[in-house]
Structure 1
Amino acid sequence: MSVKMKIEGAGDIERALAAMARGTSKGVMRRAMKKTLKPVADDADASQFEIAITSKLTPRQKGQARGDRGRSKIALYVGPVQPDGSEAPHAHLIEFGTGPRRHKSGKFVGAVMADPFLRPAWDKNQAQMLKTLRREVWAEIEKSVERATRKAAKAAG
């Protein structure tokens, strides 16, 4: 699932980010988005998985992604990983369940009832995320400006 957020009236944020170097502004957004998505990851109750917030996808996942990659775009993904950090390709079977499964011989081998863990966490936190993102972006912009000021002062004297 991909959700795009448009923040109306955030021209000040855009101007502040545009005044920074692209790498700095992307770092600001990445850190702010991670802090914003943390409650979703914390609320996702998946006992057999850990929930990760990452910008990296496996080759298989990249093929399934919607093409939301670009030089100026920041995309973070919230999802299950195995305890060792590897991908969890079977997590969707638990989240969404399966229908009745049968072998070619006709033998019934069961069905998995849906046990959603990520969608309820997303729904619970979605309303608050935009406010949190705005607050976190400003905090990160202020920190970056402060770091740049200190660095410039150090280089000057």
Structure 2
Amino acid sequence: MSVTVDVEGFAELERTLDNLSKAAGKGVLRRALKKAAQPTADLASSMAPVRTGNLARSVIVGAKLDGRQARIHRRMFRDDKSSVEMFVGPSYLSGDGGRHGHLVEFGTWKMAAQPFMRPAWDQDKRAMLDRLSEELWAELEKAIRRAEKRAAKLAAKG
């Protein structure tokens, strides 16, 4: 199954990000992605089956994967040099019960699938992309103001 998404404004966004330092640009992207994805994570948490321990509490937005996931991800995206990535899902690292999230989502031979991540994404993807657009520009404006303030301070010093 393929999904087509039309996104506009990336050229302008990239030009604006080029005016910032690499670290500031990454910070803008990271903060915007995290804020935009949090409602999707909250929706997935609310859709998690109740009798699955602490699964609902384990759904997070984060930049880290466990060891196995990181190895698979590196192999899949070896040639992709994207600057910032965020992941939404049950956290293996939180200790809150996320270790079995994939088994609940996809099922096992003993247990029927009880999807909660995919339905949350399907329900929220358009709104998430709209939030991301708004958050990116808001974070960019803040970062530009901080950079201008820093430059003015340096210029005043001499």
| TM-score class, shorter | 0.7 to 0.9
Provide the C-alpha distance between the structure 1 equivalents of 2:88 and 2:70, rounded to a whole number of angstroms. Answer: 14
Rg larger for: 1
Computed over aligned residues only, the root mean square deviation of the Cα atoms, in angstroms, reads: 2.4
User: Equivalences for 1:79-98 in 2 at 5 Å?
Assistant: 79-81=89-91, 85-86=94-95, 88-98=98-108
User: Equivalences for 1:14-29 in 2 at 5 Å?
Assistant: 14-29=14-29
Q: Equivalent residue for 2:88?
A: 78
User: Equivalences for 1:1-150 in 2 at 5 Å?
Assistant: 7-44=7-44, 45=46, 46=48, 47=50, 48-49=54-55, 50-65=58-73, 66-67=76-77, 71-81=81-91, 85-86=94-95, 88-99=98-109, 111-150=110-149
Provide the C-alpha distance between the structure 1 equivalents of 2:141 and 2:28, rounded to a whole number of angstroms. Answer: 10
Structure 1 gap ranges (5+): 100-110
Bigger helix share: 2
Where has structure 1 moved over 4 Å in runs of 4 or more?
3-6, 68-72
Change (3 A) 1:19 1:6: farther
Change (3 A) 1:68 1:29: farther
What TM-score do you get using the length of structure 1 for normalisation? 0.79
Bigger strand share: 1
Change (3 A) 1:85 1:4: farther
Contact 2:40-2:128 within 8 A present in 1 as well = no
Q: What is the percent sequence identity of the aligned residues?
A: 40
Provide the C-alpha distance between the structure 2 equivalents of 1:69 and 1:79, rounded to a whole number of angstroms. Answer: 24
Provide the C-alpha distance between the structure 2 equivalents of 1:71 and 1:24, rounded to a whole number of angstroms. Answer: 17
1:5-36 superposed Cα distances (whole Å, 9 cap, x missing partner): 77334321110011211111111111111111
Provide the C-alpha distance between the structure 2 equivalents of 1:78 and 1:69, rounded to a whole number of angstroms. Answer: 22
What TM-score do you get using the length of structure 2 for normalisation? 0.78
State the number of aligned residues: 143
